[in-house]
Structure 1
Amino acid sequence: MRPILVVLALAVAASAAPQYEPIFTDYHEEIGIPEAARIKAAEEGMDFDGARIVGGSTSNVGQFPFKAGLIVDLLSGLMSVCGASLLSNTRLVTSAHCWRHRANQASQVTVVLGSELLFSGGTRIISSQVELHRSYNEDNLNNDVGVITIDRVAFSRTISSIRLATGSNNFAGTVATAVGFGRTNDGAPITTSQYMNHVELAVIPNEECRRVFGPSIVVSSTLCTSGADGKSTCGGDSGGPLFISGTVSITRPVLIGIASFWSTAGCQRGFPAGFARVTSYASWIQSRL
């Protein structure tokens, strides 16, 4: 009888284990490659009469001059998409998984600045100089940070930099803004117009986010936002900025998060979205500027 009791005990323990929401396992294969094809086709078919981020609003040229789109050329010959934030005339910060994630590795990126569209307009700079955080983990997306080096770009009304958040503020309860070229809803059709989008999101405590995704995904260097009211980052927004407005004395926006992950169930299901917490990586990033 003892072996049967052991098996039953193990079965009960397994059934009692927490069931956490899964995140994507290969960004480019699952999201970036199909999203690149969808965005490109949608831009080509646009009639420029309307409105990617879920639950947000269309962004105008110059509204977020630090926001960059990334067209990612993979070694496989396929194309993917991501986002980034401009930190100086020659440096941007993005998610590490935009450059390398599981089966897919990039060969170069086209950095798109000063444009409300991803595949046309603005200033376009090709780079293959991308440094990933040495502790980047492709399985759980811990330390999901990378720095891109580009040829010097001149600042203008539509192109300028964003400040890095420093210090110990965890920003819980703060309302921040996310910007991206990604989907505007889980089932966005190919005809969806493709302008850059933005949305306001509430930062939540890590404990709340950890209950959804688990302790291996949500660590101290993770920052999460609420998915309330169906508002979130979504497919194609990876690497893009989450920021807060400046103060009276410091007018430039402050980057607090780098878009990293969300639930595979979709972006409108009310689940949190995960970001790399910029204050955890500020010194690492600054040493590369």
Structure 2
Amino acid sequence: MKLLHGLFSVLFIIEFSELQGKHGFFSQALLKGEVIENMSQAKFVAGIHVPANHPNDANRIKMSTCTAFILSKTEIITNAHCVYDAPYVYVVAGTKVVSDANQKIKIIVEKENIAWHSHYSHLIFGAFDIAKITLKTPLEFSDTVGSIELVDKDYKLNDPSEVVTAYGYGVLNNTRPSILRRCDANYISDVERANTFKPRQTLDFTTGEATNDGEIITPGDSGGPVVSKTNGKIVGINTGYRTTGGRGSFLPITLFLDFIHDPKSVKPIPPPLTSNEAKFIADIMAPAKFLTAYKEDYADANETNQLNFNAIILSRTEILTCAHSVLGAPYVYLTVNKLSRNATKLKVTKDQIEIHEKCALSRFAFNVAKITLEEPLEFNDNVGSIDLVDRDYKMNDPSEIVTVYGDMVLDGTVRTRRFDTKYLDGAKCKPKLGAAFDANHLMCYTSDGSMETSSTFGPIGGPMISKKNNKLVGMTIFHLVGELVVFQPIAPLLDWIRKPKVRRNQIRSI
């Protein structure tokens, strides 16, 4: 059968689409490609019918279409945006034309049997865009209905010459019916797409053709499988957003194997905090141009480029944060009541900032700074302080639970959140963190798995509160993405916090 190279364009936000209401967008994609004439060639591909206008359409007559793939007789995988919050969907299988009314296999699936990734947000296209449908009645496998295997967790797409095949029920020329097609493509490395913003989970693929024929946007292919030509297994799932130049996006399936095997194993994202819950947390905004710790990374940044960090309100005039958040800056901005429309932004100059005399950039320990305000803060329901632990307080019970607060990148956006964790002693942290980690003065904890962090975001400078006594026991100062997070215990710093010995904005270089 003659193969026509395909063009992909997936998930384009549109205001008046077939998936109005809570969905907010429809899927698009495979326009040209080889039409599947014999379903035995693609018996693992399924279709999804979703009520397009729920809950406004009482009759639920108008349906939208997505693609899916079959993992087993009871497991179907598709995009989260295809099924998100739908009261029910239909799964069709063994068909070349998904929009046919008279399907031999058409199974209704109620909402309680549809699980989308708990980190998915319909506002952030591409990120965590995966869902699992569980059938109560198993499919009957045949020459036209079957399953496909997933690649292993350690599988890596590391050869841009590798060919993948994408499948989908995309509508050609916006004309029904939705016919199953497939198309070969090469994936594009992260280096080649470095200047294009996309969720960090996605990879691009290209057919090598330009999208200049006016047939770019058609619904139907989202959720379709991306299969390796090398091993015949699933390597990805169509997703993403509008692309040009014959490009599309897919989620590497290796990132979601845990979810696929057990959707409940993924911890929900902690909800954003209210102003009252975050009353003792503040924000530090520092001009990137001056920060000693970031000069190399931000050598070309001007004074208006800001880096954001967390801070802790100790009293009406005392603020605690990380030294590297303020080091070298002639001024910083402090924001309190940060989650309210009545947030207060104060300019703090260099002479109001004190750095611990033992702080050194080559070490994590004593990475602490204290800001003294000239005018006292006004405490209210949304602005307040947190008590410090006593000097003799020891973190020596590994079962103790602490709550970490701070700005975290979750679901693709920055929100102030908290999560509970257990701390680890310094001896357990040092093997992973190396010589720069001072096990005599520092400890660490593990993130809860839902936290995405970068060099400019994360709970850095944020408080750690004991669940036992509701007092400040630590401050986050450094993290390794997805691994260990370093914090400074507060008890050893109490003398310095209450009466700083050093009153200069300096730091040792060794």
Q: TM-score, normalised by structure 1?
A: 0.71
Equivalent residue number for residue 43 of structure 1:
none
Give the alignment partner of residue 32 of structure 2, picking from 55, 63, 74.
55
Call closer, same or farther: CA 1:59–1:286 in 2, change over 3 Å: same
> Are residues 1:255 and 2:234 paired?
yes
The answer to which structure has the higher helix fraction is: 1
Identity of aligned residues (%): 25
Amino acid at match of 2:35: T
1:164 maps to 150
Shift of 1:227: 4.7
After TM superposition, give the deviation of residue 226 of structure 1 in Å. Answer: 1.5
SS of corresponding position for 1:179? strand
Q: Within 1, Cα distance between the matches of 2:238 and 2:10? A: 16
Q: CA 1:234 to 1:211, structure 2 compared with 1: closer, same or farther past 3 Å?
A: farther
User: What is the aligned length?
Assistant: 229
Deviation of 1:139 after TM superposition, in Å, equals 2.1
CA distance in 2, matches of 1:23, 1:124: 25
Q: How does 1:71-86 map to 2 (within 5 A)?
A: 71-73=49-51, 74-77=54-57, 78-86=62-70
Instruction: Please give the alpha-carbon distance, in whole angstroms, between the structure 2 residues aligned to 1:211 and 1:154.
Output: 47
The correspondence for 1:30, drawn from 4, 11, 17, is: 17
Equivalent residue in structure 2 for 1:69, among 47, 64, 84? 47
When normalised by structure 2's length, the TM-score is 0.41
- Cα RMSD after superposing both structures: 2.8
Does the 8 A contact of 2:209 with 2:246 survive in 1? Answer: no
Q: 1:135–1:143: 8 Å Cα contact kept in structure 2? A: yes
- Paired residue type of 2:209: D
> 1:124 matched to which residue of 2?
106
Distance 1:152 1:235, change over 3 A: same
CA contact (8 A) 1:59 1:196 kept: yes
Give the Cα separation in 2 of the matches to 1:134 and 1:271: 31
Structure 1 residue 240: deviation in Å?
Answer: 0.8
| Change over 3 Å in CA distance of 1:155–1:91 after alignment to 2 | same
Tell me the residue number matched to 2:224: 240
- The letter of the residue matching 2:106 is R
8 Å contact 1:93–1:148 — kept in the other structure? yes
How far 1:84 moved relative to its partner? 0.6
CA distance in 1, matches of 2:41, 2:217: 18
Q: Distance in 1 between matches of 2:238 and 2:141?
A: 24
Distance 1:72 1:233, change over 3 A: same
**Partner Cα distance (1:162, 1:275) in 2:** 17
Within 1, Cα distance between the matches of 2:10 and 2:234?
26
Q: For residues 213-266 of structure 1, what are the alpha-carbon distances to aligned partners after superposition, in whole Å with 9 as ceiling and x for unaligned?
A: x0xx330x212211521489952101111112464xxxxx31111111231xxx
**In structure 1, distance between residues paired with 2:205 and 2:233:** 16
Report the 3-state secondary structure (helix = DSSP H, G, I; strand = E; otherwise coil) of the residue aligned with 2:31: coil
Structure 1 residue 114: Cα displacement: 0.3
| Gapped regions of structure 1 (runs ≥ 5) | 1-20, 34-51, 248-252
SS at match of 2:86: strand
Cross-structure match for 1:285: 260
Cα distance, 1:109 vs. partner?
A: 1.1
Partner of 2:134: 149
Does the residue aligned with 2:147 lie in a helix, a strand or coil? coil
5+ long unaligned stretches in structure 2:
1-8, 21-28, 265-510
Aligned to 2:199: 218
- In the aligned structure 1, how far is the partner of 2:251 from the partner of 2:10? 17
Corresponding letter in the other structure for 2:99: F
Question: Whole-Å Cα distance in 2 between the matches of residues 172 and 162 of structure 1?
Answer: 23
Give the secondary structure class of the aligned counterpart of 1:282. helix
2:41 alignment partner, SS class: coil
Report the CA distance between 1:31 and its aligned residue.
Answer: 5.3
Structure 1 residue 164, shift from structure 2 partner:
1.1
Indicate conservation of the 8 Å contact 2:97/2:177, yes or no: no
2:205–2:247 Cα contact (<8 Å) kept: yes
